[in-house]
C-alpha cells in the first residue's frame, strides 16, 4: 500500500467539524462546552473578537462566558449585561435571527460594545443567537478588523451546525437544572386541602388559601376578589395584607373594580381562562394589559377564576410590584387553589341554595298549573311575572308576540314597578344574524351590558331609551321567526347565574305552551268571527231585495261591514257602477276612524281612476301602501300616510262585466293573515255574484213590466180594432150586394178578405192573449214568397231594389229591375215550386218579412237581393256537409231559404247573434234595441217553430240570412 495522501482543506474542515461535534456531545459541563466551541471558532474562523454569553430568561440578562480578544484582555467578556429596549443584543434575543453590523464603531444601539470596538479596532461584526426550538439560550458575537460582515455559505453552515449542537446541549442542561429547582405543587396543595377540612367557615378557608398561595409564589400580595352580579363589580374579600375584609368596607375599592373597567380581563375569567401578565409577556391584548396593570398598580399579575356551575364567583390573584415571569408551577398552584375555593364556596350558601331550588320548583309548577287551569292568560302571567322578577331581582317582565300582519313584535304582557311606565312601542323583526342566534339557542341569552353588546342591534335604541341596561332573552316557542319571546330586563349592568338562566328558560317554555293555547283560542275566535261574517253575508244576500235605492245601499253596506270585520279594517267602501257607465259611485260601508275622509260626491272616472284600473287588471286582491296612491286618488280618499289599502274587483266570470271595486283600508301598514285574505276574497266574490244576480233580476223585472204594459195596450187596441172592423162588415152586409156583376165580384172578394182578417184577428185575441199559440198549417213556398214580396213592394220601389229568386225552377237573371209592381208574377211555377212547408205559416211569414225588410234597409240603393231556395235531405252527404259548413244543424226534409245582399253588418252583431256565444245580459248590446232586437226575436221564434235562423257573412262581404224550414212529407 502507498502512503496515505495528505487531506485537502475542505476535508480538514469537515474532519474538524466532526471532531468538535463529537466533543460537544461527550461533555456535560457548560463551561467546557463553551471552551470547546471557542477553540473551534478560533481555529476555523478568522475573527479577532469572539464572545459567548448565556441568556437568563427570567431576569432578561446576558452572562458572559468568555472568548478571545486582540489584546488578550478578556475580563470584560465575563461581565453581566442587562438588556434594555432598543439594544441590538436584545433584538437578537427576541427575534432569534442573526444580525450583521458593517461597522460596530458607528453603531449607536450598542453603546458599551461601541467603545470596546473603538478600543480594539473592531468593525465588521456578526451577532448570532444560540437557540433551541423557540427558546433563546445565549449569543455569539464575532468581530473582525475588516469592514462588513460577509460570511460564506459553507462557513455559515458549519457555524450554524456547531451553534445548533451547543444550543441543544445547553437546553438539556437547563431543563435538567429546572427539574431539580422546580417547586412541587402537590405537597402544598395536599397540605392546604387538609387545612380546609378543619376550618369552620368560608372566610377562614379563604384566608388559608391566600396564605398558602402567598407562601408558594412569593408575590408582593395575594388577594381573593369576589364578584357581585347585580352591580357587576369585584370586591376584595380576602388578602394576605388585610386578612379579613368586609364588603361594606371595600366600597371605595369596588368602585374602581367594575366589569366595565376590567373588560377583557373579566371575559377571560368568565370562560375559565387563567390570566398571566409578566415581564414582556401577557395572555391579554397589549393595549389592555397596560391599562389593567395601571388600574391594579402592579407590574405583574397572575389570576385564576373561581367558577362554580359555569358561574364566575370571583378570582384568586397574585400580584407583584416588579416585572416577573410566572413559572408553570406558579400557574398550576394558583389554578389549583382557585379550584379548591370553587369547591368550598357553595357550602356557605348551601341552605339558601336548597331553599331557592325548592322555590324555583314551586314557581315552575305554578306556571305549569296555569296551562291546565281555566284562569285567564293575564292572571297566570301576573302571578308568574311577580315571582320571576323577585327571584331574578329584575325590573321588567316583558312577553312579546310576533304579529304577522304588522311584521313586528308586540307586547302582549308586561310587568314593572309601580313607579315605571309601561312600554308602548313595538319592536321590529330581528335581523337575520340575531334571529338565527335566538333560533339556535337552547338556554336564556344574557346581555350584561347593553351599551357595549351589539347583539339584537335593532332593539338596542328603544330599550336603551327606556332605561334597559341588561337583559335575559328566551324564545318561548320554536320557529324560524319565534312566535313568542320573553325578556327580563334590569336598569343597571348586571349578570345572572346559570341556575337563574336555567330557571327562566324552563319558565319561558311553559309560558310558550300558554301562549300557544292562547293563539289557538284567538285563531278559533277568528274562525268563528269569519264564520259569523259568512253567515251574516249569506243572510244579507238571500234577503228579498227591495227596489228602493236606500234599501239596496243598506244591504251592500251590511255586506261591507262583515267583510271589514274579518280584517279589522276601519274603512270599507264600494266603488259601484253599471255596465256601460263611465263614472263610479261611492257606497260607504265602514268609516270608524276620524283619520279617514271620503268625498262621497266626488266624480270618479272609471277609466282614469288608478285604484279601479289596478283592481281590474289584478285577478285576485291587490294590497298597496298609501304612499303609492296618485294625487288624483288622494283628492277623494283621505288616509294616513302610513296606511295600507286592499282593493278587489267584483269579478264573477271572465266573460261578464265587472260592476264595482271593494276598497278596504287601515291606518297603518299590516301583513294580513292569508286565511283572512282568502275569506275576504270569497266574500267579495259572493258579493259580486249577488250584485250581478240582483241587477239581472232588476233588469228582468223592469223588462217584464214594460212588456206586460205593452202587451196589454196592444191587445186592448186590437180588440177595439176588431170590434170596429166587425161592426163595419156588418154594416156592409146590411147594405146588400151591388147589381153590377163585375162590381159584385170585386165586392165579394173584398168582403171575403175582410172576413178572413177579422177571423184571424179574433183567433189571435182568443188564443194568444198572454202567450204565443203554435198552429200547424201547410203552404207552398212559392205562395209564401209571393205574399212576402207583395208586402215589401213599396219599400223596393223606394230603394230602387230588385230581387232574384233562385231554386224554384227558374231564376231571375234580368239585369234591369222590374218596371211594374207585379213581382209575384216573376215567381216560377215549376214542379219544384210546389214544395210546401209545414208549421205556423203566419209567424213564418212574419219572420221572412222581417228578414226582407232588414235586407232592404241595409242594402245600398239600386242594389240586388237574392233569395235562394234549396231542398235539404240528411241522406245526401253533400247536403249535410253544406249544412254543417254554413253553421246550421241537419234537418231531414227541410228547406234552406237564404237571403243574400251586399249591405253592411257589424261583426259584433254577427257574433252576438251566434247561438254558441255566451251573452252577458248586463253588458251593453246591440241586441237590446231594434232592428237587432227583431232579428234576435226571429231567431228564437224559429227555434220554437222547429226551424233555424242563422246570420253570417260570405268571403265576398255579402250578408246571408239562412232560414231552415220543415218541408211537408209525402205522407202528410
pLDDT at 487 over 90: yes
Looking at residues 291-312, what average pLDDT do you find?
86
Instruction: Please give the sequence-ordered ranges of beta strands (E in DSSP) within 247-386, or none if there are none.
Output: 275-278, 281-282, 300-308, 311-320
pLDDT tops 60 at residue 334: yes
| pLDDT at position 663 | 93
User: Would you state the pLDDT for residue 375?
Assistant: 56
What is the rounded average pLDDT of the residues 783-787? 90
Lowest mean pLDDT among 15-29, 708-722, 761-775: 708-722
Do residues 588 and 557 touch, judged by C-beta distance below 8 A?
yes
- Cα–Cα distance, 222 to 215 (Å, whole number): 9
pTM over 0.85: no
Query: Is the Cα dihedral 854, 855, 860, 862 positive or negative?
Result: negative
In the prediction, which pLDDT does 929 show?
80
Cβ-defined contacts of 682-686 (< 8 Å, 24+): 682/534, 683/533, 683/534, 683/537, 683/559, 683/562, 683/563, 683/566, 684/563, 684/621, 684/648, 684/650, 685/651, 685/652, 686/537, 686/538, 686/541
In degrees rounded to 5, what are phi and psi of residue 663?
-125, 125
DSSP codes of every residue in 305-322: EEEETTEEEEEEEEEESS
What per-residue confidence (pLDDT) applies to 478?
A: 80
Handedness of CA 547, 548, 553, 555 (dihedral sign): negative
At 342-393, the pLDDT tens digits run: 888 877 666 566 666 666 676 676 666 655 554 566 777 888 888 888 888 8
Q: Return the SS3 of 425.
A: coil
| Coil vs helix vs strand at 470 | strand
Arithmetic mean of pLDDT, 869-890: 53
Tallying the residues shown for the chain, one arrives at 972
- Residues 391-402: tens digit of each pLDDT: 888 999 999 988
Higher local confidence (pLDDT), 330 or 7: 330
**Where residue 883 falls among pLDDT bands split at 50, 70, 90?**
very low
How distant, in Å, are the alpha carbons of 244, 308, 496 from that of 684?
Answer: 81, 65, 55
Q: Look at 24 and 472; give whichever has higher pLDDT.
A: 472
What is the rounded average pLDDT of the residues 250-262? 59
**Averaged pLDDT, 102-129:** 88
Alpha-carbon distances, residue 574 vs 508, 540, 660, 679, 686 (angstroms): 46, 16, 7, 18, 14
Beta strands in 758-811 (DSSP E): 777-780, 802-806
Query: What's the pLDDT score for residue 601?
Result: 82
Of all residues in the chain, what percent carry a pLDDT higher than 70?
A: 85
Q: How far apart are CA 169 and CA 96, in angstroms?
A: 17
What is the per-residue pLDDT for 8? 62
Res 818 pLDDT > 60? no
Residues 464-470 have a mean pLDDT of 91
> What pLDDT, on the 0 to 100 scale, is given for residue 354?
65
Helix (H, G, I), strand (E, B) or coil at 884: helix
Could you give the CA distance from residue 336 to residue 209 in angstroms, rounded to a whole number?
10
pLDDT of residue 547: 42
Lowest mean pLDDT among 295-304, 419-428, 529-538: 529-538
Cα separation, 796 vs 794, in Å, equals: 5
pLDDT tens for 732-757 read 777 676 777 777 777 777 778 788 77
For 568, left (φ over 0), alpha (ψ -120 to 50), or beta? left
Mean pLDDT over all residues of the chain?
Answer: 81
DSSP state of 582: S
pLDDT band at 472 (very low <50, low <70, confident <90, very high): very high
Higher pLDDT, 211 or 528: 211
Mutual angle of helices 350-372 and 498-541, in 10-degree steps = 10
Question: Do residues 98 and 92 lie in contact, with contact meaning Cβ atoms separated by under 8 Å?
Answer: yes
Three-state DSSP state, 45: coil
Residue 493 phi, psi (nearest 5): -75, 125
pLDDT, residue 482, reads 86
Amino acid at each position: 500500500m502507498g502512503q496515505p495522501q495528505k487531506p485537502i482543506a475542505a476535508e480538514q474542515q469537515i474532519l474538524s467539524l466532526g471532531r468538535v461535534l463529537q466533543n460537544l456531545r461527550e461533555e456535560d459541563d457548560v463551561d467546557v462546552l463553551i471552551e470547546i466551541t471557542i477553540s473551534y471558532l478560533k481555529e476555523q474562523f478568522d475573527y479577532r473578537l469572539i464572545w459567548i454569553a448565556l441568556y437568563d430568561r427570567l431576569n432578561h440578562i446576558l452572562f458572559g462566558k468568555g472568548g478571545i480578544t486582540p489584546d488578550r484582555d478578556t475580563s470584560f467578556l465575563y461581565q453581566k449585561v442587562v438588556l434594555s429596549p432598543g439594544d441590538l443584543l436584545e433584538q437578537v434575543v427576541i427575534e432569534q435571527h442573526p444580525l450583521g453590523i458593517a461597522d460596530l464603531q458607528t453603531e449607536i444601539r450598542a453603546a458599551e460594545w461601541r467603545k470596546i470596538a473603538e478600543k480594539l479596532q473592531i468593525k465588521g461584526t456578526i451577532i448570532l443567537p444560540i437557540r433551541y426550538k423557540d427558546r433563546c439560550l445565549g449569543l455569539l458575537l464575532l468581530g473582525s478588523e475588516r469592514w462588513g460582515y460577509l460570511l460564506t455559505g459553507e462557513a455559515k453552515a458549519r457555524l450554524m451546525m456547531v451553534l445548533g449542537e451547543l444550543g441543544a446541549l445547553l437546553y438539556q442542561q437547563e431543563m435538567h437544572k429546572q427539574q431539580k429547582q422546580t417547586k412541587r405543587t402537590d405537597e402544598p396543595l395536599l397540605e392546604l386541602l387538609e387545612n380546609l377540612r378543619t376550618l369552620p367557615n368560608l372566610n377562614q378557608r379563604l384566608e388559608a388559601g391566600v396564605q398558602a398561595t402567598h407562601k408558594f409564589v412569593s408575590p408582593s400580595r395575594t388577594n381573593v376578589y369576589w364578584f357581585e352580579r347585580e352591580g357587576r363589580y369585584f370586591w376584595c374579600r380576602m388578602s394576605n395584607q388585610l386578612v379579613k375584609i368586609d364588603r361594606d368596607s371595600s366600597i371605595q375599592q369596588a368602585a374602581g373594580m367594575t366589569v366595565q373597567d376590567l373588560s377583557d380581563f373579566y371575559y377571560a375569567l368568565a370562560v375559565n381562562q387563567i390570566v398571566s401578565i409578566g415581564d414582556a409577556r401577557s395572555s391579554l391584548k397589549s393595549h389592555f394589559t397596560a391599562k389593567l396593570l395601571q388600574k391594579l398598580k402592579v407590574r405583574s399579575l397572575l389570576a385564576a377564576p373561581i367558577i362554580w356551575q359555569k358561574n364566575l364567583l370571583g378570582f384568586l390573584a397574585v400580584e407583584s410590584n416588579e416585572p416577573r415571569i410566572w413559572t408553570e408551577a406558579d400557574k398550576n398552584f394558583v389554578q389549583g387553589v382557585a379550584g379548591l375555593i370553587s369547591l368550598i364556596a357553595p357550602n356557605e350558601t348551601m341552605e339558601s341554595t336548597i331553599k331557592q331550588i325548592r322555590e324555583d320548583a314551586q314557581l315552575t309548577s305554578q306556571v305549569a298549573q296555569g296551562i291546565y287551569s281555566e284562569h285567564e292568560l293575564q292572571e297566570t302571567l301576573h302571578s308568574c311575572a311577580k315571582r320571576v322578577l323577585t327571584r331574578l331581582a329584575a325590573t321588567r317582565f316583558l312577553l312579546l308576540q310576533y304579529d304577522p300582519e304588522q311584521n313586528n313584535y308586540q307586547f302582549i304582557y308586561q310587568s314593572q314597578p309601580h313607579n315605571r311606565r309601561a312600554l308602548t312601542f313595538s319592536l321590529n323583526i330581528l335581523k337575520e344574524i340575531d334571529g338565527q342566534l335566538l333560533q339556535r339557542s337552547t338556554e336564556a341569552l344574557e346581555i350584561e351590558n347593553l351599551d357595549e353588546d351589539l347583539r339584537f342591534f335593532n332593539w338596542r335604541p328603544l330599550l336603551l331609551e327606556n332605561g334597559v341596561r341588561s337583559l335575559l332573552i328566551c324564545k318561548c316557542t320554536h320557529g324560524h321567526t319565534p312566535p313568542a319571546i320573553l325578556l327580563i330586563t334590569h336598569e343597571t349592568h348586571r349578570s345572572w347565574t346559570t341556575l337563574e338562566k336555567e330557571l327562566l328558560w324552563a319558565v319561558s317554555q311553559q309560558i310558550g305552551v300558554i301562549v300557544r293555547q292562547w293563539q289557538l283560542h284567538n285563531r278559533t275566535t277568528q274562525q268563528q268571527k269569519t264564520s259569523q261574517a259568512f253567515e251574516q253575508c249569506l243572510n244579507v244576500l238571500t234577503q228579498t231585495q227591495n227596489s228602493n235605492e236606500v234599501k239596496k245601499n243598506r244591504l251592500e253596506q251590511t255586506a261591507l261591514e262583515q267583510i271589514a270585520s274579518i280584517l279589522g279594517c276601519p274603512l270599507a267602501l264600494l266603488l259601484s257602477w253599471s255596465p256601460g257607465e263611465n263614472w263610479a259611485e261611492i257606497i260607504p260601508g265602514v268609516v270608524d276612524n276620524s283619520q279617514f275622509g271620503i268625498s262621497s260626491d266626488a266624480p270618479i272616472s272609471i277609466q282614469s281612476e288608478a285604484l279601479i284600473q289596478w283592481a281590474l287588471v289584478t285577478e285576485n286582491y291587490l294590497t298597496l301602501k298609501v304612499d303609492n296612491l296618485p294625487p288624483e286618488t288622494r283628492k277623494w280618499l283621505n288616509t294616513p300616510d302610513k296606511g295600507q289599502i286592499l282593493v278587489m274587483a267584483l269579478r264573477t266570470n271572465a266573460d261578464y262585466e265587472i260592476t264595482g271595486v271593494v276598497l278596504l283600508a287601515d291606518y297603518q301598514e299590516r301583513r294580513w293573515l292569508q286565511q283572512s285574505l282568502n275569506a275576504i276574497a270569497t266574500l267579495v266574490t259572493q258579493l259580486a255574484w249577488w250584485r250581478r244576480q240582483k241587477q239581472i233580476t232588476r233588469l228582468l223585472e223592469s223588462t217584464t213590466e214594460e212588456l206586460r204594459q205593452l202587451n196589454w195596450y196592444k191587445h186592448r187596441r186590437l180588440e177595439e180594432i176588431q170590434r170596429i172592423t166587425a161592426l163595419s162588415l156588418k154594416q156592409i152586409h146590411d147594405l146588400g150586394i151591388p147589381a153590377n156583376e163585375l162590381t159584385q165580384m170585386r165586392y165579394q172578394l173584398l168582403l171575403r178578405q175582410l172576413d178572413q182578417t177579422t177571423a184571424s184577428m179574433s183567433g189571435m185575441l182568443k188564443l194568444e192573449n198572454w202567450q204565443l199559440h203554435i198552429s200547424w198549417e201547410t203552404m207552398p213556398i212559392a205562395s209564401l214568397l209571393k205574399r212576402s214580396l207583395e208586402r215589401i213592394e213599396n219599400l223596393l220601389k223606394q230603394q230602387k231594389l230588385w230581387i232574384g229568386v233562385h231554386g224554384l225552377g227558374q231564376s231571375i237573371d234580368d239585369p234591369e229591375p222590374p218596371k211594374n209592381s207585379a213581382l209575384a208574377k216573376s215567381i216560377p211555377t215549376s214542379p219544384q215550386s210546389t214544395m210546401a212547408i209545414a208549421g205556423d205559416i203566419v209567424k213564418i211569414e212574419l219572420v221572412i218579412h222581417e228578414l226582407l225588410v232588414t235586407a232592404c234597409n241595409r242594402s245600398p240603393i239600386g242594389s240586388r237581393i237574392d233569395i235562394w231556395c234549396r231542398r235539404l235531405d240528411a241522406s245526401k252527404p253533400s247536403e249535410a256537409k253544406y249544412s254543417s259548413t254554413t253553421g246550421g244543424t241537419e234537418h231531414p226534409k227541410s228547406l234552406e231559404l237564404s237571403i243574400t245582399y251586399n249591405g253592411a253588418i257589424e261583426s259584433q252583431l254577427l257574433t252576438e247573434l251566434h247561438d254558441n256565444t255566451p251573452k252577458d245580459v248586463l253588458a251593453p248590446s246591440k241586441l237590446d234595441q231594434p232592428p237587432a232586437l227583431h232579428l234576435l226575436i226571429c231567431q228564437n221564434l224559429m227555434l220554437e217553430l222547429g226551424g233555424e235562423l242563422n246570420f253570417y257573412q260570405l268571403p265576398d262581404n255579402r250578408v246571408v240570412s239562412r232560414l231552415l224550414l220543415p218541408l211537408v212529407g209525402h205522407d202528410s
